Amino acid sequence: MTTLSPSTSAFPVASQVVHAIQGATRVLCVSHVAPDGDAVGSLLGMGWMLHRLGKETTLALPDSPPQEFAYVPGVENIVSPEAVGADFDLIICLDASSPDRMGAVYRPADHDAIPLLVIDHHVTNTYFGDLNWVEPGCAATCQMLVYLADALHLELTGELAVSLLTGLVTDTLGFRTSNTDARVLAAATRLVEGGAPLSQIVADTLSTRTFASVRLWGAALADVQLEDGIIWAVLRRADRERIQARDEDGDGLASFLVTVKEADISATFTERLDEQGAPYVACSFRAKPGFDVSSVAVALGGGGHPPAAGCTLPGVAEDVVDRVITALRTARRRSLDGRTPASTTTLGVTSHGSR
């Protein structure tokens, strides 16, 4: 593992990361499929930093950003995979734990020869870049970018502050997750001092829901299940089509379910179709402090953090629910028995990753 160089930031940022960004001219920035607030916020936040540094920048997502992030400055500049070229001297992947999370934006034939910098906070990151800055101790990738802005001597103001606070607010569920520590709150304070409207961001991202979303949740909650400390619900494609709800209208249900007093772990199963029309299920897991759902997600081909993780599996809900719930039961028992290995927090910058 490469030795880190100290910076003026309150948190160490590897000199290699700073030098890679400063030495680039044409940069492609990408985040993950099914983008959430940290994906959108870190993508746009990096875009604003590169803009201030005078870089030629392309911002891309494999899926359209959800409507609730329409307020984030610059969101209209995010392009789809079809608009991404190949003439870059650096690619920055943000908030993605594995290369498949970049979706169709990253094309190996066009992009494998271009240096890839990975910036992420997921404990399940596979270190797939040529240079990897991975910090599971941070609550959001946007938190890491606060420290990167310091290392690049950029002020945390204006559009940059709004973008980064969006990721902090959404990934901590309004500063309520167990990894919300003093560093997170200090970073958020600086962004608010820089002009980011905290109350409005919370309202737009966490406190606003469409009527279609309420109806979709209602359909799922009508058949909610609770067994052995695990609560789960299915968001069926037929219900979404009947209600005319969007894919993202089901977001947040897993976080709501884990608040049930009798539950330690929650899961939602969202039925969808891929681009070829084949059915798959997006699984979202949440856990109370002391329980770890990331191990289950990784075993099923996904990723995430101990309190919040997910994966996608082929088929419809009936094909996947039983085996996923069985795996979650096993993970819960291990946590209760004290057999789950303690998670480690490391700041890793490595070179020569495998894509």
Distance CA 269, CA 234 (A): 5
pLDDT at 3: 27
Kindly give, in sequence order, each residue whose CB lies less than 8 Å from that of residue 84, ignoring residues fewer than 6 positions away. 28, 58, 60, 105, 107
What domains are there in the chain, each with its CATH number? 15-205 (3.90.1640.10), 211-337 (3.10.310.30)
pLDDT for 13:
77
pLDDT at 353: 52
State how far Cα 49 lies from the chain centre: 20
The tens digit of pLDDT for each residue in 76-130 reads 999 999 999 999 999 999 999 999 999 999 999 999 999 999 999 999 999 999 9
pLDDT of residue 8: 39
In the chain, DSSP finds a helix count (H) and a strand count (E) of 12, 12
pLDDT score recorded for residue 352: 44
Q: Which residues of the chain have pLDDT under 70?
A: 1-12, 339-355
Two tokens, residue 226: 């609770």
pLDDT digits (tens, 9 = 90+) for 295-336: 999 999 998 889 999 999 999 999 999 999 999 999 999 999
Q: What are the phi and psi torsion angles at 282 (to 5°)?
A: -90, 115
Length of the chain: 355
According to the model, what pLDDT value does residue 69 have?
Answer: 96
Strands (DSSP E) along 214-295, which ranges?
225-227, 230-235, 265-273, 279-287
